[in-house]
């Protein structure tokens, strides 16, 4: 199957707009991706044809909504190769998924137990474990990275011990683009009997996520990072782990029996899904997965690598630019600093030229302190970006450099 980026872009209405009379060059995909028309249509169709609450309605609209909603769970389960559909838990996104696991872990940890994370964590995969450890009197350990942004795997393995109860790490760093060897490190963590959670927020949109092959216990991701709506995501967990995991939210749908004195919980996935869910979001996520799955994954990955290679080549030739994050295995992210310029100023000047990037600490303040910088300017690429847009980025950076000199 061939890959035609021009035809692909036509499926994204927002990519046709202009900013201050200039074509939009959207390079903030690590923050959120744009949505194809197929996803927008699926959401509109739900709201205009079968908007109703799921599971309990005694009418046709509720039945139709339930079938679409639960069908979306099947779609996610298939996409990540879950062993059973019950292992897919709907959340509002990666952050809620991590918090669900961390809240339960805080009740299972004790003094002397340890949780291991890395220096490259997004706050969502750091602060949650800090809180769980503080609640339980456990210890949080941090695996270091190398100066190029690559995880120090030898140090990571050295920090594992019989006291390690859970390991949490990103599939891909949002700030650096570093791809971690999650399968190999999961195997190491399993040698000491630890649970493993993978933050897949940045990994899910690049395809080929197979949770059974990875061997982890939990994989969390957000729909909006992979062409779906905001406010929807999924926590995948092994059924053997989730079926006894402490509940977090309580209320409707997740119960089995309630009296005025006590309550018992239902079975998976209901026991971890309290309240009315984001039905339209789940349907939109399924539409995004179906749309993405119909594309040639290998061709898309080749295209993304070509974009990043071009960006790196031009960055190395750009006087006064310092790249932040140059690990051998990385995807989709070009974080950088311009000599003598604050990232916020760079971002402002680029925006006036129609180019959308991210500036700041990328929700990774400890990582920025480790690297000795206040933050970065970050361009992040997706499958609908073009080589011409990479060129436009550097043309705009030349203008920014002149203005900020």
Instruction: Tell me the pTM.
Output: 0.97
pLDDT category, 3, cuts 50, 70, 90? confident
Q: Are residues 114 and 224 in the same domain?
A: yes
pLDDT at 207: 85
What residues contact residue 283 under an 8 Å CB cut-off, 6+ apart?
42, 43, 46, 68, 69, 72
Distance of CA 123 to the CA centre of its chain: 12
SS3 359: strand
Residue with tokens 């709506």, as numbered in its chain:
229
SS3 78: helix
SS3 370: helix
DSSP state of 353: T
* Domain membership flag for residue 321: yes
Q: Are residues 81 and 205 in the same domain?
A: yes
Q: Are residues 217 and 134 in the same domain?
A: yes
pLDDT at 73: 98
Tell me the Ramachandran region of residue 269: left when phi exceeds 0, alpha when psi lies from -120 to 50, beta otherwise: alpha
Q: Are residues 107 and 186 in the same domain?
A: yes
> Which residues constitute the domain of residue 341?
5-30+296-404
pLDDT at 2: 62
Evaluate if residue 1 carries a pLDDT over 60: no
Q: Are residues 58 and 121 in the same domain?
A: yes
Cα–Cα separations (whole angstroms), residue 54 to 41, 67, 247, 276: 20, 8, 21, 8
Q: Are residues 336 and 276 in the same domain?
A: no
In 52-87, which positions are buried (b, 16+ CB within 10 angstroms) versus exposed (e)?
bbbeeeeeeebebbbebbeebbebbbebbebeebbb
Catalytic residue among 50, 133, 216, 363: 363
Cα–Cα separations (whole angstroms), residue 98 to 9, 158, 207, 291: 33, 25, 21, 27
Q: Are residues 86 and 118 in the same domain?
A: yes
Average pLDDT for 136-149: 98
End residue of a domain, out of 270, 293, 316:
293
Q: Are residues 14 and 74 in the same domain?
A: no
Q: Are residues 95 and 178 in the same domain?
A: yes
341-392 pLDDT, tens digit per residue, is 999 999 999 999 999 999 999 999 999 999 999 999 999 999 999 999 999 9
* Domain membership flag for residue 35: no
Q: Are residues 350 and 384 in the same domain?
A: yes
Evaluate if residue 147 carries a pLDDT over 60: yes
Q: Are residues 100 and 178 in the same domain?
A: yes
Q: What is the CATH number of the domain that holds 18?
A: 3.90.1150.10
* Domain membership flag for residue 234: yes
Q: What is the CATH number of the domain that holds 96?
A: 3.40.640.10
End residue of a domain, out of 293, 317, 340:
293
282-326 pLDDT, tens digit per residue, is 999 999 999 999 999 999 999 999 999 999 999 999 999 999 999
The answer to whether residue 363 is catalytic is yes
As for how many domains the chain has, the answer is: 2
Q: 279: part of which helix (H) or strand (E)?
A: helix 279-293
pLDDT at 26: 98
* Domain membership flag for residue 36: no
Q: 235: part of which helix (H) or strand (E)?
A: strand 233-237
Closest CA to 332 of 285, 398, 397, 378: 378
End residue of a domain, out of 259, 293, 327:
293
Average pLDDT for 264-281: 97
pLDDT at 298: 94
Q: What are phi and psi of 332, to 5 degrees?
A: 70, -5
Q: Are residues 262 and 329 in the same domain?
A: no
């Amino acid at each position: 199957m061939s890959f035609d980026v021009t035809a692909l872009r036509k499926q994204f209405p927002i990519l046709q707009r202009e900013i201050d009379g200039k074509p939009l060059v959207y390079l903030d995909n690590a923050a959120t991706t744009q949505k194809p028309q197929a996803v927008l249509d699926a959401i509109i169709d739900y709201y205009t044809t079968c908007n109703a609450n799921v599971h309990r309605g005694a009418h046709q609209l509720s039945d139709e909504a339930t079938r679409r909603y639960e069908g979306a769970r099947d779609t996610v389960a298939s996409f990540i190769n879950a062993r059973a559909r019950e292992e897919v838990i709907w959340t509002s996104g990666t952050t809620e998924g991590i918090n669900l696991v961390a809240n339960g872990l805080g009740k299972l940890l004790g003094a002397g137990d340890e949780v291991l994370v890395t220096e490259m964590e997004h706050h969502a995969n750091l602060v949650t474990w800090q809180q769980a450890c503080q609640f339980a009197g456990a210890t949080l350990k941090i695996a270091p990275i190398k100066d190029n942004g690559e995880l120090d795997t030898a140090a990571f393995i050295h920090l594992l011990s019989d006291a390690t109860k859970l390991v949490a790490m990103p599939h891909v760093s949002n700030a650096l683009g570093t791809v971690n060897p999650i399968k190999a490190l999961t195997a190491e963590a399993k040698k000491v009997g630890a649970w493993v959670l993978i933050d897949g927020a940045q990994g899910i949109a690049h395809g080929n996520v197979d949770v059974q092959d990875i061997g982890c216990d939990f994989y969390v991701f957000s729909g909006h990072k992979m062409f779906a709506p905001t406010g929807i995501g999924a926590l995948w967990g092994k059924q053997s782990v989730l079926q006894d995991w402490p509940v977090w939210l309580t209320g409707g749908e997740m119960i089995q029996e309630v009296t005025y004195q006590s309550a018992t919980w239902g079975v998976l996935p209901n026991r971890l899904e309290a309240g009315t869910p984001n039905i339209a979001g789940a349907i939109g996520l399924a539409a995004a997965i179906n749309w993405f799955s119909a594309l040639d994954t290998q061709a898309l990955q080749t295209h993304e690598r070509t974009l990043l290679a071009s960006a790196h080549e031009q960055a190395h030739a750009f006087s006064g630019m310092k790249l932040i994050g140059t690990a051998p295995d990385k995807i989709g992210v070009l974080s950088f600093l311009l000599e003598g310029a604050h990232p916020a100023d760079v971002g402002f000047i680029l925006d006036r030229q129609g180019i959308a990037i991210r500036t700041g600490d990328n929700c990774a303040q400890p990582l920025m302190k480790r690297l000795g910088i206040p933050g970065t300017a970050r361009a992040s690429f997706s499958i609908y970006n073009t080589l011409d847009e990479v060129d436009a980025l550097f043309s705009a950076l030349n203008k920014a450099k002149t203005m900020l000199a």
